[in-house]
A and B are shown apart, each in its own frame.
Chain A
Amino acid sequence: MIELTEVTKRFGGTTAPAVDRLTLTVADGEVVVLVGPSGCGKTTTLKMINRLIEPTSGTISIDGVDVTGLEPHELRRGIGYVIQQIGLFPHRTVRENIATVPRLLGWDRARIERRVRELAETTDLGDDMLDRYPSELSGGQRQRVGVARALAADPPILLMDEPFGAVDPIVRAKLQDELLELQRRLRKTIVLVTHDIDEAIKLGDRVAILSVGGHLEQYAPPEELLRAPANDFVADFLGSDRGIKRLSLIRIADIDLEPGPVVPPGTDVDRARAVMAGYDTDWVAVVDGDRMLGWVTNDGLDGRSTIDGVDLEPFVTRLTPNNTLEEALDAAISSHTAIAAVFDGERFLGMITVERISREIVR
C-alpha cells in the first residue's frame, strides 16, 4: 500500500506549490491513474514516490515504511519505473536493457537469462529481438521493452508516467489492453500518469483528478466519477460526453433486462400484434421457456391465426451479460429495431432497448 499524507512540493524559487497537501492512498494490487491538465503536478507526485523528487513537506510511505528512511537507490530497485520517453539504454541490447535491475541487484547470469526470456514472452517480444539495440525497434516494441525492464525484478509497485504517450492511437490501444491483461495476472500496485481521460477511465481501478497546483479534485472509481462528478472542474474535465463514456464501464449484467416483444409458441396472432404495439415494434420474437426460436415481422403474420408455423428469422447480433452498454447501444442501434437480445450461451435472458440505455446516460 502506498500512502501519501499531506504531501506538498514547492520547487525552489517558486511561490505556488506544484503539489499542494495531497493525500492519497493506493491499495495493493490496484491501478490508480493520476490525470489532469498539463502542469498540474502528476509527474511531480509520481517522482516523489520513488524519491526522484523530495517533498517539501508531508510523508510518503510504502507498506507503512516512510520512504525517506530508505536509501534512494535501494528503494528504486524495488519499484518499476516507466517514462514516456522510455529511456532505454541505446548502448545496450534489448536483453541487457531488460536485465538492468536484476544486474544491479546482483542476480547470477543463469537466473537473469531465465527471467529475460520469461519477460520477453510476457510482453510479446520475439526471441530474435533480444539481441537488437533499441534503435532497431519500433515505437511499440520499445514501449514493451520499457515495461519488461520495469517488471524485471518483479517489483510489487510500478510507476508509469505517460507510458503510452509516444505511440500512435492504434498501438496505444493495443498496449493498454496488454497492460490490463498483464495486470490481471500479475496484480501489481500501479500508479499511472496520463493526461488522457479516456486512458484513465479504461485503465484505472480508481482515478485521481488533479487541477493545476496539485489539488486533488476527486478520487474515485471511473464509473463513479462519470456518474457523480464532485464539481464543475471534474465535470468539465470529463467532457460533455461523460454519460456516453460511462456506458463502456457498465456491463449488461449490471442492469435489469426487459422481456422485450416476445410471445410463447401457440400465441394467437391478435395477441402477438398487441405485444408488438406495446413495444412499438413491427416484429415479435417467439420464446419457448428460455429458448429463443427467432423473430418474425408483422407482415409475416398476415393470414395466420397463431404464431406457430411462421418462418422465424434467427437473431444475428447476440449480446452476452459481459458486454458493456456501449456495445449494447451499438448493437441496438444497428439492428434497426432499437432493441438487442441478450443470451447466456443458448439461454435467452431478455432484451435491452436504446431507451433503457439512454436512461443510464442521463442518470
Chain B
Amino acid sequence: MIAQAADQPFVRWDWIVDHVDDIWAATWEHIVLTAIAVGVGFVISLALSMLALRHRRAYGPITWVTGILYTIPSLALFAFLVPITGLTTLTAEIGLVSYTLLILIRNIVAGIDGVPASVRESAVGMGYTRRRLFLEIELPLALPVIVAGIRIAAVTTIGLVTITALIGKGGLGFLILRGLNLFYSPVGTTQIVVGTVMSVILAVAVDLSLVGAERAMTPWSRRRSR
C-alpha cells in the first residue's frame, strides 16, 4: 500500500478543482471562528484591562489566571469542556477566547501605561474627564501596542482553530483531520496540504491587513518616521 501511494501524485489537483466550494466553506468557517474568538477576547480583555488599570492590585491575579488558561494544552481544555458544553461552537469559542486573553490584556495595559505621563497630566489639567481621557487620548495612543497584541492573538487563533476539528468544528482543520484519516491516499494528503496552506495564507493575510489598519489609524506615527 505504501509503495502504491508513492506512485501516486502528492497533490490531486482535480480533487481541489472539484471541491472548491468545500474549501471555501471551510475557510469561511475558519475566518468566522477566528473573528468571534478575537472579537470576544478583545472585549473581555478591554474590560479586564480597565479593571487592572484602575486597581493596580488586580493586574497580578488577572495575568495569573489568564496565564494559566494560556498554558493549558488545548486538547486537554476541549476534553474538559465537551462534557459541559458539548460538541458545539460554544465549546470551541470558550477555548479559543481563553487563549487570546493573556496576550491582549498584556498589550492593552502595556500600551496604556506607555502613554507619556506629561500627556496624561496636561489632558487632565485641561479638564478631560476620566472616560474621555481613556477613549480620546489613552486608547488612540496605545493603539500600536494594542494592535501588535491583536496580531499575535489573531495568528495564534488561526492556528488553534484547526484543533477544534476534534470537536466537530475546525474550519480548515476539518479538511486536515479528514485528510489524516485518509492519510495514505492522495486525496488525504491533498486535503492536508490544502488545509495547511490555506491556513497559512489566512494567517499572513490577516496579519497584513491588521498592519494596514494600524497604519491607517495612526497617521501621526507614520509621518514621524518619514
Q: Is B84 an interface residue (CB 8 A)?
A: no
Contact between chains at B125 and A83 (CB < 8 Å): yes
Contacts A/B (CB < 8 Å), 28 sampled: A50-B125, A52-B124, A73-B128, A73-B129, A74-B127, A76-B124, A76-B126, A76-B127, A81-B122, A83-B121, A86-B118, A87-B116, A87-B123, A87-B125, A88-B122, A89-B119, A89-B141, A90-B141, A91-B220, A100-B126, A104-B126, A104-B128, A133-B220, A133-B223, A133-B224, A135-B224, A136-B224, A159-B125
A-B CB proximity, top 6 nearest: A87-B122, A85-B118, A77-B127, A87-B118, A76-B127, A81-B125
Q: For B220, what are the chain A residues with a Cβ–Cβ distance below 8 Å?
A: 90-92, 133, 135
Contact between chains at B124 and A77 (CB < 8 Å): no
A315 to B17, CA, bound (A): 102
Q: In the complex, which range does the number of interface residues on chain A fall in?
A: 20 to 34
**Interface on B for A, CB 8 Å cutoff?**
116, 118-129, 132, 137, 140-141, 218-221, 223-224
Contact between chains at B218 and A91 (CB < 8 Å): yes
Q: For A73, what are the chain B residues with a Cβ–Cβ distance below 8 Å?
A: 127-129
Contact between chains at B223 and A135 (CB < 8 Å): yes
Decide yes or no: A83 and B127 within 8 Å by CB, A91-B141, A91-B218 being known contacts: no
* Of A74, A75, A86, A91, the contact of B122 (CB 8 Å cutoff): A86
Q: Is A101 an interface residue (CB 8 A)?
A: yes
Contact between chains at B126 and A81 (CB < 8 Å): yes
Which residue in chain A gives the minimum CB-CB distance to B130?
A73
Which residue in chain B gives the minimum CB-CB distance to A52?
B125
**Interface on A for B, CB 8 Å cutoff?**
47, 50, 52, 73-77, 81, 83-92, 100-101, 104, 133, 135-136, 146, 149-150, 159
Which residue in chain B gives the minimum CB-CB distance to A159?
B125
Contact between chains at B122 and A83 (CB < 8 Å): yes
Q: For B118, what are the chain A residues with a Cβ–Cβ distance below 8 Å?
A: 83-87
Contact between chains at A104 and B127 (CB < 8 Å): yes
Q: Output the least CB separation between B112 and chain A (Å).
A: 13
Q: For B126, what are the chain A residues with a Cβ–Cβ distance below 8 Å?
A: 76-77, 81, 100-101, 104, 149-150
Q: For B219, what are the chain A residues with a Cβ–Cβ distance below 8 Å?
A: 133
A126 to B217, CA, bound (A): 27
Q: For B141, what are the chain A residues with a Cβ–Cβ distance below 8 Å?
A: 89-91
Which residue in chain B gives the minimum CB-CB distance to A74?
B127
Q: For A87, what are the chain B residues with a Cβ–Cβ distance below 8 Å?
A: 116, 118-123, 125
Q: For A83, what are the chain B residues with a Cβ–Cβ distance below 8 Å?
A: 118, 121-122, 125
Q: Output the least CB separation between B121 and chain A (Å).
A: 6
A133 to B124, CA, bound (A): 20
A74 to B129, CA, bound (A): 9
Which residue in chain A gives the minimum CB-CB distance to B124?
A52
Contact between chains at A89 and B124 (CB < 8 Å): no
A251 to B112, CA, bound (A): 53
Which residue in chain A gives the minimum CB-CB distance to B120?
A87
Q: Output the least CB separation between B32 and chain A (Å).
A: 32
Q: Output the least CB separation between A151 and chain B (Å).
A: 12
Q: Output the least CB separation between B19 and chain A (Å).
A: 47
Q: For A86, what are the chain B residues with a Cβ–Cβ distance below 8 Å?
A: 118, 122
A76 to B121, CA, bound (A): 12
Contact between chains at A76 and B140 (CB < 8 Å): no
Q: Output the least CB separation between B226 and chain A (Å).
A: 9
Point out which of A85, A91, A136 has the most chain B C-beta atoms below 10 A from its C-beta: A91
Which residue in chain B gives the minimum CB-CB distance to A81?
B125
Q: For A81, what are the chain B residues with a Cβ–Cβ distance below 8 Å?
A: 122, 125-126
Q: Output the least CB separation between A343 and chain B (Å).
A: 48
Which residue in chain B gives the minimum CB-CB distance to A77?
B127
Q: Output the least CB separation between B125 and chain A (Å).
A: 4
A75 to B126, CA, bound (A): 9
Q: Output the least CB separation between A80 and chain B (Å).
A: 8
Contact between chains at A101 and B137 (CB < 8 Å): no
A225 to B219, CA, bound (A): 51
A149 to B123, CA, bound (A): 11
Which residue in chain A gives the minimum CB-CB distance to B225?
A135
Q: For B223, what are the chain A residues with a Cβ–Cβ distance below 8 Å?
A: 133, 135-136
Contact between chains at B123 and A89 (CB < 8 Å): yes
A85 to B221, CA, bound (A): 19
Q: Output the least CB separation between B132 and chain A (Å).
A: 8
A206 to B155, CA, bound (A): 62
Which residue in chain A gives the minimum CB-CB distance to B133?
A73
A106 to B218, CA, bound (A): 25
